[in-house]
Every structure is written in structure tokens, then in C-alpha cells.
């Protein structure tokens, strides 16, 4: 049995990767690995609150491995903290780290390079699945998510907070990747076959920070 730690962004891609990994009889997912901005207690880019992350991990019945990052954070500090997490993984007999990347070759190459000295195997369960097909698989498979962040230089700010559903896919401009893989948007997942029960999200204010528009989601415990 391969013990796998899953890189967890709080969004749809990592959630669907969890679903696919759990369908493999030789894989045991042992935890969700996420980085957290210590200044704001949120996931970078997605803007997801720590409390929502905890609720997602509880719904997935998995422990949450949090890597705290300072703000601002240099690449050197980031890599040091990731190295420390990898050492913990090795101590806890983890065999591999899985990522929800879809098709960006440079991102995959970077992850493979960083893991190479550790002996941990990089796994990419969603790699090169056509993103229009993947988006429909997620929605038809019961995944439910909302757009937590929109890059206003690529996509209208009116999409922030919207449901990731068939209507959204129809409304996306042709140049926007259906899964937002080029950073057009990021999501916060709240229900799906990877969860034992839905996460009860409450939608708060929508704010613009340096061209990125965030819809703030909270749970009852936030």
C-alpha cells in the first residue's frame, strides 16, 4: 500500500485528485498538505480561511498538515519550509506526494526537481486530462465549489463567488481555461464524493486586492 500525502489548495483540483486517489486500491491518502499565510491565516491565491481548511479536512476524514509561511515570503524560505514538511513525511513513512496540477509543464518540473533529493515520489492524478472534460467530470461527479478568487486582468470580477457549475462553464469566455489552470480563477470546494459531509459555507464580502478579486467564505465555526 502506497502512503500518499496530498497537496491541498482548498480548491476543486486537489479535491478531485483526492477522489481519484481513493479509487486506487493500492493507495492510502494519509493527509492534506497546505501552505498558510501566517499574517492573514489564509491560503495564498485562493484566500481560503484556516477555519474552512480545517472543515474541509474534517469532511475528508484526514489530518491537515499546515506549513506556515511568513508574509512576504521569499522562495528560499518557502523551499526550506517545504523541505521540513518532506522530512516529516519521510519520518511518518509517506511514500509519495500528490498534486492537482493539470498541464503546466514548468510547475510539474519544479515539483519533481524539489522532491528528487527526498526520495518521495511525485504523483499527478489529473495530469493532461483535457480540462473541458475534467470540469464536466467534476460537476457531473457531484463536486461542488465556488469561485474564491478571480484575476481581474483575465476574467470579469462578476465571476467572484459564483458556483462552479455547468452554467459557469457556458458563461466563461472562450480564452479562459475551464478549470482556471492559468490562474484565471481559483475555487473553494465544499461538497463532493471526497467528503463525508458537506462543508457549510457562508459567503461574506467580495474585495479587490491588487487586481485579484476575492469572495470571502466562512463556516459556522469561523
Predicted confidence (pLDDT) per residue in 74-94, tens digit: 888 888 989 999 999 999 999
221 has pLDDT over 70: no
CA distance 92 to 87: 9
43 has pLDDT over 60: yes
Query: Which residues sit opposite 31 in a β-bridge?
Result: 5
Least confident of 18-27, 35-44, 154-163: 35-44
CA distance 221 to 53: 11
Closest to 13 measured CA to CA, from 127, 90, 95, 112: 127
Distance of CA 163 to the CA centre of its chain: 16
Predicted confidence (pLDDT) per residue in 201-215, tens digit: 998 899 898 889 999
37 has pLDDT over 60: yes
Predicted confidence (pLDDT) per residue in 141-157, tens digit: 999 999 999 999 999 99
pLDDT of residue 217: 93
What are the strands of the beta sheet with 212-218, ordered from one edge? 185-191, 144-151, 212-218, 202-209
Q: What is the mean pLDDT of residues 108-128?
A: 96
Domain ranges of the chain: 2-218
Least confident of 71-80, 94-103, 129-138: 71-80
3-state secondary structure the chain: CEEEEEECCCCHHHHHHHHHHHCCCCEEEEEEEEEEECCCCECCCCCCEHHHHHHHHHHHCCCEEEEEECCCCCHHHHHHHHHHHHHHHHHCCCCEEECCCCCCHHHHHHHHHHHHHHCCEEECCCCCCCHHHHHHHHHHCCCEEEEEEEECCCCCHHHCCCECCHHHHHHCCCCCCCCCCCCCEEEEEEECCCCCCCCCCEEEEEEEECCEEEEEEECCCC
Number of neighbours of residue 54 by Cβ within 10 angstroms? 16
Q: What is the mean pLDDT of residues 113-137?
A: 97
For residue 92, give the C-alpha cell: 511518518
pLDDT of residue 36: 84
222 has pLDDT over 50: no
Q: Is 2-218 a domain of CATH 3.40.50.620?
A: yes
pLDDT of residue 6: 98
Q: What is the mean pLDDT of residues 175-192?
A: 97
pLDDT of residue 79: 87
- 39 — pLDDT class (breaks 50, 70, 90): low
- 183 — pLDDT class (breaks 50, 70, 90): very high
Assess contact for 97 and 89: CB atoms under 8 A.
Answer: yes
Amino acid at each position: 500500500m502506497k502512503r500518499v500525502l496530498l497537496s491541498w489548495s482548498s480548491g476543486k483540483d486537489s479535491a478531485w485528485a483526492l477522489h481519484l486517489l481513493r479509487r486506487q486500491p493500492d493507495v492510502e491518502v494519509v493527509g492534506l498538505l497546505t501552505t498558510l499565510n501566517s499574517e492573514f491565516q489564509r491560503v495564498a491565491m485562493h484566500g481560503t480561511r484556516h477555519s474552512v481548511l480545517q472543515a474541509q479536512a474534517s469532511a475528508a476524514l484526514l489530518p491537515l498538515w499546515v506549513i506556515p509561511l511568513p508574509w512576504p515570503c521569499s522562495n528560499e524560505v518557502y523551499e526550506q519550509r517545504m523541505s521540513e514538511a518532506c522530512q516529516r513525511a519521510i519520518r511518518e513513512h509517506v511514500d509519495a506526494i500528490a498534486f492537482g496540477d493539470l498541464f503546466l509543464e514548468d510547475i510539474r518540473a519544479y515539483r519533481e526537481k524539489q522532491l528528487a533529493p527526498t526520495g518521495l515520489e511525485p504523483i499527478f492524478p489529473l495530469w493532461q486530462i483535457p480540462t473541458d472534460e475534467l470540469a464536466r467530470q467534476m460537476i457531473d461527479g457531484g463536486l461542488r465549489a465556488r469561485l474564491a478568487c478571480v484575476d481581474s486582468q483575465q476574467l470579469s470580477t462578476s465571476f467572484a463567488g459564483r458556483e462552479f457549475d455547468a452554467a459557469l462553464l457556458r458563461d466563461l469566455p472562450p480564452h479562459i481555461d475551464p478549470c482556471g489552470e492559468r490562474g484565471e480563477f481559483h475555487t473553494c470546494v465544499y461538497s463532493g464524493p471526497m467528503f463525508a459531509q458537506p462543508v457549510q459555507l457562508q459567503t461574506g464580502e467580495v474585495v479587490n486586492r491588487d487586481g485579484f478579486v476575492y469572495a470571502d467564505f466562512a463556516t459556522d465555526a469561523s
